[in-house]
Amino acid sequence: MSALSPRRLSMGVAAGLLVVLAASESPSVAQTAAPRPAPPAAVRSTPPAPVAVTQAATPPRPAPRRRAAPRTYSRPQALTTVQSANSSARDYPSAGAYVNAALYYDFEPGRLYAVHTSPRFLTAISLRPGEKLISKAAGDTVRWVLGETVQGSGATQQVIVMVKPIRGGLRTNIILTTDQRTYLLDAVSHEGDTYT
């Protein structure tokens, strides 16, 4: 007898055990056991029909635009354009716009309203009654002082913004934003007693 490796031995014992179990099965047990179902017939699967690949619809392309000749940038020309636009948008004081010492401007969006100030006097800018000031800003907050106060109450309450330069010969812009509009002011300071 040849020597068996432990693996072959275990495989042989397992095979013998199966044989013993199959041989020891009595006919009565075999007769009472339910018949085993027949193995299913081999089903051949047919591959699905190939799917036709189509290209997704693409939106129509806009007609090609002709490229405009590149603009040449000229700093002096650009500055002149801005100065011209600001100058044409500026609203200056006129004799007919005064009622006593108060200057009245008709509001127009985008308009620059000239405000003349003096370092010795406060200039008061009164908003419409009921208009609420949201913010105020100045281009030069070091040499210009901005303040605010209110007069009245309720629906007739009126916000007054006060402007004062620290010296003459200054110029800055001031933006007042309210709940109804935005005011663009061009503030200029002069030595002397002239102010609006």
What's the per-residue H, E or C state across the chain? CCCCCHHHHHHHHHHHHHHHHHHHCCHHHHHHCCCCCCCCCCCCCCCCCCCCCCCCCCCCCCCCCCCCCCCCCCHHHHHHHHHHHHHHHEECCCHHHEECCEECCCCCCCCEEEEEECCCCCEEEECCCCCCEEEEEECCCCCEEEEEEEECCHHHCEEEEEEEECCCCCEEEEEEEECCCEEEEEEEECCCCCCC
The domain tally of the chain equals 1
Domain that holds residue 145: 76-189
- Considering the domain boundaries, does residue 194 fall inside one? no
CATH number, domain of 98, equals: 2.60.40
- Considering the domain boundaries, does residue 100 fall inside one? yes
Which residues of the chain register pLDDT less than 70?
1-35, 38-45, 57, 69-73
- Considering the domain boundaries, does residue 24 fall inside one? no
- Considering the domain boundaries, does residue 56 fall inside one? no
pTM: 0.60
- Considering the domain boundaries, does residue 27 fall inside one? no
User: For residue 147, what pLDDT is reported?
Assistant: 97
User: For residue 191, what pLDDT is reported?
Assistant: 93
